[in-house]
Chain A
Amino acid sequence: MALYLIRRLMQSGFVLIAMSLLVFLGVYAVGDPVEILISPDADQEERERAVRALGLDLPLWHQYLVFLGRALQGDLGRSFVFNEPAIQLILQRMPATLELAFGAMFISVLIGLPLGLYAGLRPDGRLSKTIMAGSILGFSLPSFWVGLMLIMLFAVQLGWLPSTGRGETAMLFGIRWSFLTGDGLAHILLPAINLSLFKISLVIRLTRAGVRETMLMDYVKFARAKGLTPFRVTFVHVFKNIMIPVVTVLGLELGGTIAFSVVTESVFAWPGMGKLIIDSINVLDRPVIVAYLMMIVLMFIVINLLVDLVYTLLDPRVRLEGKA
């Protein structure tokens, strides 16, 4: 197990370095920040001073090495716009995105799992067919449009829920969270639902497929032949088996949810990383863009690692092979 972990960590290191190069080159190719940051009527001397201050006069490889060297010390550059460390900007916005993403995950499991279970146990029922049709909608409706509709309905027409911002926050571990206050919860509800729509559909379909497949297994029939109650057969024998794919896929989805909450955050003016990156792209704030992408890469790596570990906990067959 330890050996496996070390190997995985080394792989992750290589991925990080490779990604940093890609990200750096990719971002460098996009536009010239000088055009945006420096006022058009500045004279030549002023421009050159600014360019030097930002390190933009060095050759590209040199800029990358400087970037890499600093990155290793946890310094991903200073924002051209805010003149603050980029990493700090991102970390400030991260809790908002994280709680939104986890809220969406929570909702998708809370709704998707029971619906998927029902649809799997009664595949021919009318309700099951409705659920499955609904899940297709969840997959195919564009996120921003659903977001707007949610705002129209619940914020504008009915006036039940707020549609912008994080609302009141409370401190926990020195970080501000919305989900700890009633007002904050009201604020997070709409964007979290919006973000969870796709994932609800995903969980429904995964669960249903898993249930249908598992119900046909000999061990389920044997469990029934042992005289277990249908409740125990479903919630122990079937459920434990379908949790393996559901947890794995949802875990991998988490990274995507965090990274691509951009749309939802923009629609609901949710002050998270997604909104920051959109703003930064608009003004070509390179250090922030690079730092954001690096954070996302890092996050994917960590999440994949965690998912693998959880997977081995859920499936005893993998556990043994891991040790060998």
Chain B
Amino acid sequence: MRRATLPLLFALLLAPLACQRAPESYDYAPALTASAAERQMTIERWSAEPVAIQSTTVLVARELDEAETCARCHDGKGTGRKPDGAGHDDIAIEHAAGMECSDCHERNRPQLLTTLDGNVPLHDQAARCRECHRNQVGDWLGGSHGKRLSGWAETRVVANCAHCHNPHSPSLKPRMPVATPVIVPERLGPMESNHVEH
């Protein structure tokens, strides 16, 4: 069951995922609602690498893709400049000190990511991340880093790197904690404590 091999089989396995998600009230990760077509399998080729992982098949939620990202501005007809003419200058890189675009993007075809073994498409981002964050990607493949999107007994589907980390500013930002679910209105009067009442 863990060793599915055919893309078609993946699509079939993933089809039920789209409809059996949790109540929307805590459907936190957007990729949980992704359709089967939006997910894609990569990875098995790394299983022979010396990082400490088992060679389990991993499905990666795929949401970064030329079709979805570039086409937001580049329809293939115009100059590709945004209306304000800014191009990509508005992207602030808050990654490691001194990094620039071409450290990850192929200079003339930014929809491709550079790796020592050649270019990879955006949704294979882990191949690029791994060149610096070897331990994290190893743990991600093994299962202790990152977020599993499928149930424990289903084929393993994990979130992709950029699902949680904005690659241009990868640290997660502080925020307020989630509030306690609402109190029943008719009980909004004085609340008894569990520890004083008998």
Chain B binds chain A = no
Contacts from B to A (Cβ < 8 Å): none
